[in-house]
């Protein structure tokens, strides 16, 4: 039974994804040529390219024109946790080191008012989080919420 191309490329992408997760295709390694992969999976080159496009969109591989396709290093996942009860400068399980946290009361400009569904000029609390991981700045977040009272709580 021949499966139509529209249905085959997800299966090829799934198998390549599995191979990357299992370590059969390692980070920074070049994938076999498109011709070799199309033979291995029993699909045409256009079907294989569509599967590779999916993996590139997911950040699992990188296409380098004239060089080939390469497995990308896994992106490091950073998990943010509440810092309530921790002192400034503490680290969470991901190694993200919170360098500074600040809070201040501001007035909503037109953009904030539209996003938060409040009137322009309404009081907002602005929280700024700056974090680093292994000495390298990794995050800067500004969080705006309607002001409800004391910023110290």
Residues 93, 49, single domain; the answer is no
CATH code, 55: 1.10.10.10
What mean pLDDT is reported for the chain? 81
pLDDT of residue 31: 95
Residues 92, 148, single domain; the answer is yes
Q: Which domain holds residue 28?
A: 5-71
pLDDT of residue 106: 93
Residues 149, 84, single domain; the answer is yes
pLDDT of residue 131: 79
Number of domains in the chain: 2
The CA–CA distances, whole Å, from 23 to 29, 62, 75, 104 equal 11, 17, 15, 47
Residues 12, 55, single domain; the answer is yes
Residues 17, 89, single domain; the answer is no
Q: Which of 28, 55, 71 is the last residue of a domain?
A: 71
Could you report the per-residue pLDDT of 128-138, keeping only the tens digit for each? 888 777 777 77
Residues 85, 61, single domain; the answer is no
Residues 102, 57, single domain; the answer is no
- Three-class secondary structure of residue 123 per DSSP: strand
pLDDT of residue 139: 76
């Amino acid at each position: 039974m021949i499966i139509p191309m529209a249905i085959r490329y997800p299966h090829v992408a799934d198998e390549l994804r599995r191979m990357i997760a299992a370590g059969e295709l390692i980070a920074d390694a070049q994938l076999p040529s498109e011709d070799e992969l199309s033979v291995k999976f029993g699909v045409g080159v256009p079907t294989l390219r569509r599967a590779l496009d999916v993996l590139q969109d997911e950040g699992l591989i990188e296409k380098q024109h004239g060089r080939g396709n390469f497995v990308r290093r896994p992106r490091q996942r950073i998990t943010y946790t509440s810092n309530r009860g921790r002192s400034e400068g503490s680290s969470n399980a991901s190694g993200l080191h919170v360098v500074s946290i600040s809070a201040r009361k501001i007035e909503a400009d037109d953009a904030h008012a539209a996003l938060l569904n409040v009137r322009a000029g309404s009081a907002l609390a602005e929280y700024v989080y700056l974090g680093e991981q292994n000495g390298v700045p990794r995050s800067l977040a500004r969080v705006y919420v309607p002001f409800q009272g004391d910023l110290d709580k």
